[in-house]
Each structure stands twice: as C-alpha cells, then as structure tokens.
Amino acid sequence: MRRALTTASVKPKQRSPERDALAAAIERHSAAARLISAIEAAQPAAKEAVYAAQDAAEAASATIAEAQANAALHLASVALGTAGAAPLSVKDARAAAQDAQDAYDAARAARAALEEQHRAATGELQTARYQIESRIRDVIKSEANIEKLLADFVATHRELVSRRRALEWLDFRNAVPKGIAWRSEGSWPDLPGATTWKSAATALEADPDAPLPA
C-alpha cells in the first residue's frame, strides 16, 4: 500500500536567490508600513497630551502670582494676629510650575519624535518600494525566457513583413479589395499583449513565489 504523504515529508519549494531578495524587500516594505500605521495611531494621543500639558503649564504659571499675593496677605494677617493656615508658598508654586513646564516640554518632544519617526518610516517605505520593483526586475530577468520570446517575435515579424510586401505589390495593382484597412495597425483590445506580464509583476509585489507567464 502506498504511504500517504505527510506535511513533514513534503519539502517546501526552494526559492532562487532573486526571489529570496524579493521576499526580503517585501518584508522590509511591510515592516515600514506597519510602523507608519502604529505611529499614525499614536499621534492623536500625543497631540492631545501636548494641549493638556500646555494648559497645565499655563495654569501652574498663573499660580505663582496668586501665591505671591496670598503670601503678602498672610504676612499681613500674621502681623494682625488673624492669620489662618499658611497658603501655598511661592517656592512650592514655582516648583509646581517648573514641573508642569517640564511635562509640557516632554510632551512636545514626544510629538516631535513621532513626527520625525513618521518622516523616516515614510522614506523607508519609499526605499523599500523601489527595492521591490528592482527585485521584481531581477526575478523576471533570471526566469523569463526572453531569448525565446525575442526569437518568436523575430520569426513572426519576418512573416508579417513578407505578407505585407505581398499585399503592397497586389495593392499597387488594385488587386486588394477596397475598404480593408490593412496598412494601419488595429487596436485589437482582445489581444493579451503585456497584460499577463503586468499581472504577474503585480502579484510579485506581495507574493515572492508568484509564477511568471510560461
């Protein structure tokens, strides 16, 4: 009885060096795209943190003048013997204002860091995109039978030129039926042309194992 093949017994298809390089370029592009998404998801919160820290810093700065006024009133109350609990000291108000300013500066720095990371990641994404296009060209060059395609083209073109010359000779003698536009090339949208190659190249942008046209 023939043994059934298991997953472990089936060896994965080995990639060519060109396809390995393409796979690495695709992963590089995906990593940059993931990083950009993460940064963009974090930016709104970072922006709101700056606004909140700015409000807190402005409010803390305003308490310094309030603390100074309260300190003067408290000293007057002490002199009159009517003083109650001591208000917030100017020293503590200034310390709190400095802490708030430090938090504001840190929030702005965090926002700026995200913006810089976004610029760098965008540049990385573009570089990876160019690299993918270059690696696709390498795959096509290494695997596509361009020489056969060229040979077939030359042979077909020679045949067409021969037929065209025959038609030109016949047309000169008014032997070709009128109303047949054989001199100009038709659009013929049903012909595949480069469509199959374009589709294959597009597939390779996401799948390094996508096949090329036969």
Of 62, 66, 60, 67, the C-alpha closest to 105 is 60
Of 51, 50, 47, the C-alpha closest to 39 is 47
Q: What is the pLDDT of residue 8?
A: 47
pLDDT digits (tens, 9 = 90+) for 62-83: 888 787 877 677 677 767 777 6
How many Å apart are CA 83 and CA 76, to the nearest integer?
8
Angle, helices 90-143 vs 195-204, to 10°: value is 140
Measured in residues, the chain has a length of 214
Q: What is the pLDDT of residue 7?
A: 43
Can you give the pLDDT of all 214 residues of the chain as single tens digits? 444 444 444 445 788 999 999 999 999 999 999 999 999 999 999 999 999 999 999 998 888 878 787 767 767 776 777 767 777 788 888 888 899 999 999 999 999 999 999 999 999 999 999 999 999 999 999 988 888 888 999 999 999 999 989 998 998 888 888 877 777 777 778 888 788 899 999 999 999 999 988 7
Q: What is the pLDDT of residue 77?
A: 72
Q: What is the pLDDT of residue 179?
A: 77
How many Å apart are CA 17 and CA 12, to the nearest integer?
15
Contact status, residue 46 vs residue 166, Cβ threshold 8 Å:
no
Q: Which CATH class is domain 16-144?
A: mainly alpha
What is the signed CA dihedral for 62, 67, 69, 72, rounded to 10 degrees?
-160
Domain ranges of the chain: 16-144
